[in-house]
């Protein structure tokens, strides 16, 4: 089985016409988009779920999408952002301290990428877990077994930019098997 990625273009073109918002009637706009009151109700419901989640150990609620709004999630998000800012600022400052002209855009991007690679890997894990849950819901067992075989064959890659931490980033499919065992 080849590990080469491929892109193919489907020769069949499907066009879905959509209306401009200017062509919608007021009732169609109301039926299509949330208004301010609906958004407030959704926000309040999410806040209630988060409060219940943090005050009890209930598994009654699905918190998918609300993870970074929990106390621990928001702390982690702030720390990750601060670390990314520091990495970029350090790289921008480095040439000045070393009497170089300027820091390259690629060096700044690499500093940011190394700092955020664990967040990227976790996003891939969560996304792949979501994909697996949808596929399990939509497809039969035979197709799921074939998909698991393909996941086992997926390669790992090493982030060569991160010599200090040697962060190993597995492909999303391989990482998802780890998250499934951890869950």
CA angle 10, 12, 14 (to 5 degrees): 110
- In the prediction, which pLDDT does 83 show? 96
**Distance between CA atoms of 97 and 87, rounded to whole angstroms?**
15
Is pLDDT larger for residue 7 or for residue 40?
40
The predicted pLDDT at position 61 comes to 73
Is residue 33 pLDDT above 90, yes or no?
A: yes
CA distance 128 to 179: 9
pLDDT of the residue at 181: 38
Question: Rounded CA gap, 48 and 156, in Å?
Answer: 40
pLDDT at 158 over 60: no
Q: First CA to last CA across the chain, in angstroms?
A: 29
Higher per-residue confidence, 22 vs 183: 22
CA distance 106 to 113: 10
The mean of the pLDDT values for the chain is 78
Distances (CA, A) of 89 to 48, 82, 95, 109, 179: 38, 10, 11, 11, 33
Is 60 exceeded by the pLDDT of residue 174?
A: no
pLDDT > 50? residue 157: no
If one compares 112 and 165, the residue with the highest pLDDT of the two is 112
SS (H, E, C) 2-58: CCCCCCCCCCCCCCCCCCCHHHCCHHHHHHHCCCHHHHHHHHHHHHHHHHHHHHCCC
What's the mean pLDDT in 93-107? 82
pLDDT interval class at 159 (50, 70, 90) = very low
For tokens 């982690």, what's the residue? 76
């Amino acid at each position: 089985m080849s590990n080469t990625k491929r892109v193919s273009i489907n020769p069949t073109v499907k066009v879905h016409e959509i209306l401009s918002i200017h062509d919608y009637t007021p009732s169609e706009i109301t039926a299509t988009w949330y208004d301010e009151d609906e958004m407030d109700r959704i926000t309040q419901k999410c806040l209630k779920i988060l409060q219940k989640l943090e005050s009890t150990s209930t598994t009654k609620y699905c918190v998918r999408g609300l993870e970074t709004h929990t106390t621990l999630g928001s702390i982690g998000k702030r720390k990750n952002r601060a670390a990314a800012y520091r990495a970029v600022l350090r790289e921008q400052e480095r040439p000045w301290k070393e009497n170089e002209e300027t820091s390259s855009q690629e060096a700044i991007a690499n500093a940011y990428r190394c700092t955020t690679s664990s967040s990227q890997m976790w996003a891939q894990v969560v996304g792949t877990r979501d994909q697996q849950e949808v596929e399990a819901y939509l497809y039969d067992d035979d197709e799921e077994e074939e998909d698991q075989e393909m996941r086992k064959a997926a390669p790992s890659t090493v982030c060569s930019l991160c010599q200090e931490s040697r962060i190993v980033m597995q492909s999303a499919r391989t990482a998802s098997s780890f998250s499934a065992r951890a869950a």
